[in-house]
Structure 1
Amino acid sequence: MKTINFHFFRNTILAAAAIGASVSLTHAEPSHGIAMYGEPALPPDFVSLPHVNPDAPKGGEIVFAEAGSYDSIHPLIRKGSAPWQLRFMLFESLMGRSWDEPFTLYGVLAESIDTDDSRSWVEFTLREEAKFSDGSPVTVEDVMWSYETVGTLGHPRYQGAWKKVAGMEQTGPRSVKFTFNTEDRELALLLGMRPILKKAQWEGRDFDTSGIDLIPIGSSPYMIGEFEPGRYLTLKRNPDYWGKDVPFMRGQANLDEIRFDYYGDGDVTFEAFKAGEANTFRETNARKWATQFDFPAVQSGDIVLSDIPHQRPTGIKGYVMNTRRPVFQDIRVRDALIQAFNYEFLNQSLYGGAQKRIQSYFHNSVLGMAPDTPAEGRVRDFLMQYDDLPDGALEGYALPVSDGTERNRKGLRRAMALMEEAGWTVQDGVMKNTNGDAFTFDILLKNGATETRQTIDIYIEALKRMGITPSVTSVDSAQYKERTNAFDFDMVYYWRGLSLSPGNEQRLYWGSGSADQEGSRNWMGVQSAAIDGLIDTMLNATSQDDFRAATKALDRVLTASRFVIPLGYSDLSHIAHSKQLKYPEKIQMYGDYLGFQPETWWYEE
């Protein structure tokens, strides 16, 4: 591993000052929390988060049935396939996110946070009692090492913010200060949410090597217990967890053991749950939820069916077209493939008509565009700054709606007309261009994705009527991750959850800088001046009104660019679970999302 130099000169603050007169030397006193806009809702002496049960008993276990496998327990790097839950369950950060407030943080490892009015720097002070699971103290040295190591050798999701740090310095026995080289008001919050590792554990080891030989040490309530790749992994609650009385953590981490059992595919996981091998199961298929959850354990009351409401954006879920491929670079072709996708028939066939269609990336929230309506006010002002807008961004864009029958004549006619405009016509029953080349592409799927395969089978039948016959390739979880990291696909299932406080992650999702960065979330390969500019406007907004207007403008450009064939959503999550597993009466505004299960659940006989 490379040698890391932690000494940063104090005069690096001059680099941040050079970004312009917006940098202010004034700042408030250190605080227990920070919000993107305004002040945190909870006072300094809050007892617990509002969406937890502070008196929840400790004990019991929760067992998940998971499809797929893993070959690494190092979740902070791009290499290997680690259980996704480890990133959130093994390590703590200086601050923790309250999922019942849009982008508000409260102290976890840090007892306070301080910043100036323009947020050109941020300073954290560690809690004196903070300890790793092996009992050793969490020090400023651990924090500084973690930030630079994860920021340079970790997964790309951590690297963008680190590049904006001009200086890092220890300012007291338990304090560390970061100075920024970029005007970005979100950075003060982002820097509070980085995983903190034990520096001494990694001395003489390569941080960016995946595997199962080294069990990472964190400060969280859970430690890795017994595990066997391909079969299971357990997390054990640390009985000596240092932070049990920290207000942010009170009422969380109630379960003694969290176990993940791995199976071949989604159908097998459901059967395992029905057989009692798991005691909780999330169901995303509304029809299946309505028709197949009447087995004996449900009838007896041993299994409880819970509907969890949410108020979060839909995000974007569907089939993304990789515009790095020549076949998808023409927006008319992408539009044609959206027109040919018969969502209404699919919704009725697979979900009993129970789902609603995702209309835009921030649909179902105050940040989403109004479909098929022209842009107005500040939204229009922001859009008018760019000359690379797709058709529909200004005047309005809405997804096609079929008559619900399998034939979808109107949609297919429109799709054929768009393909012809783009230079493709049916010749001898096959869609070809003027050179006689057939129009075709490959759809990459993950083994065991039964519901996804059913959707694709319906779609392929529709495309065949246009003279298009895509191929379908199914691979295991490891190959799927490797290929999507390298953008080695034409079309693939795509799901990006979005929050009510979008920020720098938007650059990783669809910023030009991430288009050629392997491992980024920009699977569609978009490079757009409008998208980049609107992300900047959103990040640097100083008022809630400008923030919302910039996000709505971004939503318009993303949606009208026709990168994704959207699927459906529900504003309810469906969880079946044993009657011993309980959750708080007050549901956080994000519903069944990060920080809900298993963090706030408990076991009670």
Structure 2
Amino acid sequence: MYGDPALPSDFTSLPYANADAPKGGKIIFGEKGGFDSMNPYILKGKAPWGVRAHTVESLLMRSYDEPFTLYGLLAESVETGPNREWVEFTLRKEAQFSDGSPVTVEDVLWSFETLGTQGHPRYQSAWQKIKTAEKTADRSVRFTFNVVDFEAPLIMGLRPILRKADWEGRVFEDSSLDVVTGSGPYVVSGFEPNRFIEFSRNPDYWGKDLAVNAGRHNADTLRYEYFRDGNVLFEAFKAGDTSWHREGNAGKWAELYDFPAVQRGDVVKSIVPHARPSGMKGFVFNTRKDKFADWRVRDALIHAFNYEFIVRNRNSVDAPRSSSYFSNSVLGMSHDAAQGAVLELLEPYRDQLIPGAIEGYSLPVSDGSEANRKNLRVAMKQLAAAGWTIQEGVLKNEAGEVFEIEVLLKVGGTVGGIETEGVFNIYADALKRLGINTRITLVDSAAYNERRKAYDFDMIYNFWYLSLSPGNEQTLYWGANGITTPGTRNYMGMNSPAAEAMVEKMLTADSAEHSVAATKALDRILTSGRYVVPLWYSEVSRLAHKKELNFPDRLPMYGDWSGFLPDVWWLEQ
């Protein structure tokens, strides 16, 4: 995106991969919930994420040791115009799908147009920025853009490339259990909906000798077993039925991971640090509902959430709170008054911004006691200022409407290894003291996803994963189009021209410094918007795994993230 890639043109492997790792063995994953589709690229149905991760490839691929840098995968070369007004990819002549058919320019063009017009909404905004898509040679394809977007060539490079022939006589948008033919290192070798899916390493994988793949894709078999909830999944791991378990709760890590397999040394506990943003994990207000439209109401409800008491009561140990959407990284906002380039970016929108965006904003802190009296007094004042007062023992507005909240949660859903229902129950007790009645609606994963896609909720729990290379996906997260268009990640329904302008600045920034300033400004708008009751995050991943599983000593900047487990792990008997 800016400057030169970190690796030289003659590199032999990614820096966090062990090029000498042995091949072979089987890794068994434990997953919660289930699946009813094999097409992860449409809005309908729920597909196993492994289909995207293991079987389908893109023109370029990430190095998870560098933000905003991509290297060639299906493409042997990439060229852009002087102002990135176009990008041209040339396919490797050896690139082929798992059935032996070549990856062609026709497959690329069909994939881009189909995903951009019929696929999941996350693909559609990028397609709308393409003026022309054309074949320029037997193995070359050029995309010309109709807007200035310096990230657009990178986005094009990460689009999944599907086999056009797979969909002859089929409707792409319709969910089905037909297996996708990919060009990746694994193929689907067996599955049963809601029970398991298995991937086998393709011995004829075309890209096994590429430098970007050295030391990657080491296991012969990847099997995903599906379980009803997190407790059952953990017991399955303790019994040896799965190969590893990721623990998000520091208290449970200290207290529950002393079972016999750990004592014998058959299970190893590993800590993997990272330098990526915290993201935003918390209870989301749906501002499409009138009761959450006033920022003072949201501010009141955030004050009512007694974080310091809850984190110790449910987490056993203190855990850092997400103080903003990009906290724990170089992209995170400062909490004092905006200065310099960040202030310059925000100043034109001063009149539209919620208090705190420019002046500085920090989350309320309680004294840790259950009463939380000081913050509840602030909450009552904010509610009164917004027109909500206690009448006949309940909170009502001037029209006599009662303030009630339905929170939609997934059965067995957890945050950091703790059931979201248990966390919200403590929160509900505090809200009751404000005169607010709450109702928890528990639904299975399928129903939850459908209602979340349609924004059919008052509040939900959600986690936005955010990276060190934010860009076009931010429009999908915060763009005003998501107020009515189903399937975006603008779950709070925010409508902020200032936020959209900061995303535009990120996409047209001519230097890393300008991009960082725009991200910090966006972080201020999101955080001061009080759209979410933030919960905790972890600066490390806690992975318990069978002793046969190994990973390199040199860790990627992103730590335990996509491209780490199982990509660079191996098994030694």
Residue 114 of structure 1, aligned match among 63, 79, 82: 79
Match of 1:384 in 2: 347
Matched ranges for 1:155-304 at <5 A: 155-212=120-177, 214-304=178-268
Residue 464 of structure 1 deviates from its aligned partner by: 1.2
Matched ranges for 1:558-577 at <5 A: 558-577=526-545
Residue 89 of structure 1 deviates from its aligned partner by: 2.0
Whether 1:457 and 2:425 are equivalent positions in the alignment is yes
Match of 1:374 in 2: 337
Matched ranges for 1:413-432 at <5 A: 413-432=377-396
Residue 117 of structure 1 deviates from its aligned partner by: 2.3
Distance 1:310 1:588 in 2: 8
Matched ranges for 1:49-198 at <5 A: 49-198=14-163
Residue 394 of structure 1 deviates from its aligned partner by: 0.6
Match of 1:472 in 2: 440
Whether 1:548 and 2:516 are equivalent positions in the alignment is yes
Distance 2:68 2:50 in 1: 21
1:398-453 C-alpha deviation (Å, 9 max, x unpaired): 00000111111111111111111111111222111122221111100001115211
Distance 2:485 2:50 in 1: 24
Distance 1:277 1:190 in 2: 38
Match of 2:364 in 1: 400
Q: Give the count of matched residue pairs.
A: 568
Match of 2:324 in 1: 360
Residue 150 of structure 1 deviates from its aligned partner by: 1.2
Residue 85 of structure 1 deviates from its aligned partner by: 3.0
Whether 1:514 and 2:482 are equivalent positions in the alignment is yes
Structure 1: which amino acid aligns with 2:443?
Answer: V
Equivalent residue of 2:144, what SS? strand
RMSD over aligned Cα, in angstroms?
A: 0.9
Distance 2:568 2:119 in 1: 28
Distance 1:462 1:389 in 2: 29
Matched ranges for 1:523-538 at <5 A: 523-538=491-506
Match of 2:410 in 1: 446
Structure 2: which amino acid aligns with 1:381?
Answer: E
Distance 1:151 1:256 in 2: 34
Equivalent residue of 2:377, what SS? helix
Distance 1:158 1:88 in 2: 17
Distance 1:236 1:244 in 2: 14
Residue 228 of structure 1 deviates from its aligned partner by: 0.7
Match of 2:549 in 1: 581
Distance 1:457 1:501 in 2: 36
Equivalent residue of 1:106, what SS? strand
Distance 2:32 2:320 in 1: 26
Distance 2:198 2:448 in 1: 24
Match of 1:497 in 2: 465
Distance 1:515 1:602 in 2: 44
Distance 1:198 1:62 in 2: 28
Equivalent residue of 1:62, what SS? strand
Structure 2: which amino acid aligns with 1:382?
Answer: L
The percentage of aligned residue pairs carrying the same residue is 56
Equivalent residue of 1:357, what SS? coil
1:196-254 C-alpha deviation (Å, 9 max, x unpaired): 11111211111111121x11100000111111112111111111111001111111111
Whether 1:40 and 2:1 are equivalent positions in the alignment is no
Distance 2:544 2:211 in 1: 30
Distance 1:258 1:144 in 2: 31
Residue 343 of structure 1, aligned match among 307, 321, 334: 307
Structure 2: which amino acid aligns with 1:405?
Answer: S
Whether 1:315 and 2:279 are equivalent positions in the alignment is yes
Structure 2: which amino acid aligns with 1:251?
Answer: G
Equivalent residue of 1:160, what SS? helix
1:522-546 C-alpha deviation (Å, 9 max, x unpaired): 1011111111111111110101221
1:497-535 C-alpha deviation (Å, 9 max, x unpaired): 111111000000001123221100110111111111111
Residue 325 of structure 1 deviates from its aligned partner by: 0.8
Q: Structure 2: state its 5+ residue gaps.
A: none
Structure 1: which amino acid aligns with 2:78?
Answer: I
Structure 2: which amino acid aligns with 1:508?
Answer: L
Equivalent residue of 2:212, what SS? coil
Distance 1:117 1:286 in 2: 49
Whether 1:486 and 2:454 are equivalent positions in the alignment is yes
Equivalent residue of 1:308, what SS? strand
Structure 2: which amino acid aligns with 1:149?
Answer: T
Range with greater deviation from structure 2 (386-395 or 430-439) = 430-439
Match of 1:331 in 2: 295
Residue 597 of structure 1, aligned match among 539, 562, 565: 565
Distance 1:347 1:231 in 2: 34
Equivalent residue of 2:89, what SS? strand
Structure 2: which amino acid aligns with 1:548?
Answer: V
Match of 1:15 in 2: none
Distance 2:517 2:395 in 1: 41
Distance 2:11 2:84 in 1: 25
Residue 84 of structure 1 deviates from its aligned partner by: 2.4
Range with greater deviation from structure 2 (452-461 or 350-359) = 350-359
Q: Structure 1: state its 5+ residue gaps.
A: 1-35
1:75-104 C-alpha deviation (Å, 9 max, x unpaired): 111100112232222200000011100110
1:105-157 C-alpha deviation (Å, 9 max, x unpaired): 00000001000221000000110111101111111111111111111111111
Distance 2:86 2:399 in 1: 58
Match of 2:375 in 1: 411
Residue 348 of structure 1 deviates from its aligned partner by: 0.6
Compute the TM-score of the two structures, normalised by the length of structure 1: 0.93
